[in-house]
Amino acid sequence: MNTEKQVLGLIELSNYINTFLSKNEDDFNEDDYEFESVLKRSEIENPWFTLENQKFALQQWSDLLTGPSIKKWMSSYSISKTSKRVGLILAGNIPLVGFHDVISVVLSNHIPVIKLSSKDKRMIPFLLNKWKKFSDQNVDFEFIERLENYDAVIATGSNNTARYLEYYFKNHLSIIRKNRTSVAVLKGDETEEELKLLAKDIFMYFGLGCRNVTRLFIPEDFVIDRIFESFIDFKEIINHNKYANNYDYNRAVYLLNQDQFWDNNFVMLKEDEKLFSPLSVIHFSRYSSLDDVEDFIEENEKDIQCIVAKKELNFNSVSFGEAQNPGLDTYADNIDTMKFLEVI
């Protein structure tokens, strides 16, 4: 395969996505209607994949796949001289969550053998076929129902599923990913704008991604109302039926158990030491010393995907509002996929 043509095809794919997203439906051509149809069918089959969320994911990829960013990313790696078959078992919690793995395998001169998630089975095939066309057929891939005839595996699943996958693929080179979530650390002097950006880190994709913040650390004297005020731009989230069902269920459980929680009618805050929180709930704890926060993060490092905080706190963090904007060199579970693909 010709890597140069693959990269040029990716850049053209980026331009194609961006052009589509910039159009009004009145200006659509036949190809645009096909693209829109893929989005609408995806939403029908998986109501979590709203048109808004799908288009947000597409815009993120369009912004990433530029010539300079791809060149900078690939400059750190060598391209395999021998093409291998790499099985990909993709997740489907948020739109296009497995696309980074597919791109990594192709640009490493391997063939992705893809088992799509039933929750996200339309967009990736559509984009891959476009990429293949834009790269003069220099992109190979396969879609399968059962994974057979492969040299290595990259699989994503729940913690329970991961145990099964680790056993099943124990004799193969593999990356097995598990559940992760993200946290935010507030210093206390955050501006209104920064807190609104934090709300984006929490609510984008309904909170279903591993980069969504589900746990907050706040100073002892921080006023909870400030957090709720910053959430107001996302109040319409409660009109989504599946999200509302989760909210109603969790609220009922807390009321029955007489748990203390804070509620603004579309999300709940609960003081809880647990890292993972139910959908529609954000766990928080108050700290008197950042050393306590550091200890918690260190103890739970294997379950934390990213940390949102001010840079001055020195948590190797991303800025407010940037949790859902990972770069090409940002890897799930912090395992360098491209390094893995170099040596298979």
Torsion of CA 212, 217, 221, 227, to 10 degrees: 0
Average the pLDDT over 196-216 and give the result.
Answer: 98
DSSP β-ladder status, 262-263 and 268-271: antiparallel
Where do the DSSP E strands lie in 178-267?
Answer: 181-185, 213-219, 262-263
Q: How confident is the model at residue 1 (pLDDT cuts 50, 70, 90)?
A: confident
Q: How many Å apart are CA 306 and CA 316, to the nearest integer?
A: 9
State the pairing for strand pair 181-185/142-143. Answer: unpaired
Average pLDDT over residues 247-259: 98
Nearest to 184 by CA among 194, 193, 171: 194
With residue 38 as reference, give the H or E element that holds it: helix 30-45
pLDDT(205) > 80: yes
- How confident is the model at residue 119, as a pLDDT? 96
User: In this predicted model, what pLDDT tens digit does every residue of 167-182 receive, in sequence order?
Assistant: 889 999 999 999 999 9
Quick count: other Cβ atoms within 10 Å of Cβ 77?
Answer: 17
CA end-to-end span of the chain, whole Å? Answer: 17
pLDDT, position 40: 98
Span 222-230, average pLDDT: 95
Residue 81 binned pLDDT confidence (cut-offs 50, 70, 90)? confident
Pick the CATH number of 3-179 from 3.40.605.10, 3.40.50.2000, 3.20.20.10, 3.40.50.720: 3.40.605.10
Q: Where are the domains of the chain?
A: 3-179, 181-313
Residue 153, both tokens: 């595996």
Query: For residues 337 and 321, what is the distance between their CA atoms, to the nearest angstrom?
Result: 25
CA distance 162 to 303: 13
pLDDT of residue 313: 95
* CA distances to 9, 58, 131, 274 from 134, in Å: 5, 17, 5, 47
Pair of tokens at residue 306: 């990213």
Average pLDDT over residues 12-31: 96
- The Cα 4–Cα 135 span in angstroms is 9
pLDDT for the residue 100: 98
CATH for 181-313, among 3.30.830.10, 3.10.20.600, 3.40.309.10, 3.10.129.10?
A: 3.40.309.10
* CA torsion, ordered 68, 73, 78, 83, to nearest 10 deg: -90
pLDDT, residue 157, reads 86
Q: pLDDT, tens digit, for every residue of 109-121?
A: 999 999 999 999 9
Q: Tokens in use for 74?
A: 């690939």
Please check the confidence at residue 335 and state whether its pLDDT lies above 90.
yes
* pLDDT band, very low/low/confident/very high, at 92 (cuts 50, 70, 90): very high
Under a CB-based contact definition with an 8 Å cutoff, are residues 331 and 306 in contact?
Answer: no
- For the chain, give the mean pLDDT: 96
Whole-Å CA distances, 344 to 22, 104, 113, 148, 171 = 40, 13, 15, 17, 13
List, as one string, the DSSP characters of 165-231.
HHHHTTTSEEEEE---EEEEE--S---HHHHHHHHHHHHGGGG-STTSEEEEEEETT--HHHHHHHT
